[in-house]
Amino acid sequence: NQSGKIITGSADGTVRLWSKGQCQKILQPQGKVAIGSSMVVDASRLLTESPAILCVMPIPDAPSSHWLIAPRSSTAYVVEVESGIVLQKFQAAEAKDDVVISAGVAMPD
């Protein structure tokens, strides 16, 4: 975009906020992330067994900092990416093999 900021999701289970080619912040869903808690982690505290991030996308008609993050797990999150605060979470029933493999956002007419 024009501000030079980019948000990426990765197979290492992280979401990274970049500005002018430099990583500014790392978010990583770790364990049972609660609404109101932060996903921001220090690079030295990354989990090595974290599920890959399958989807990172902005939420239409919401503030530009509200993004959907969907790791390869049974939970997807709406996060305020500047702070890393979890605003909302969507969790499948407690079944061992339930995994989000794709995510999207649709706006009603």
Q: What span, in angstroms and rounded, lies between the C-alpha atoms of 62 and 80?
A: 10
Q: What span, in angstroms and rounded, lies between the C-alpha atoms of 69 and 78?
A: 6
For every residue of 57-106, DSSP letters joined together read: EEPTTS-TTEEEEEESSSEEEEEETTTTEEEEEEE--S-TT---------
| pTM (2 d.p.) | 0.81
Q: What span, in angstroms and rounded, lies between the C-alpha atoms of 30 and 48?
A: 10
Instruction: Give 7's pLDDT tier (boundaries 50, 70, 90).
Output: very high
Given a cut of 80, whether residue 58 has pLDDT beyond it is yes
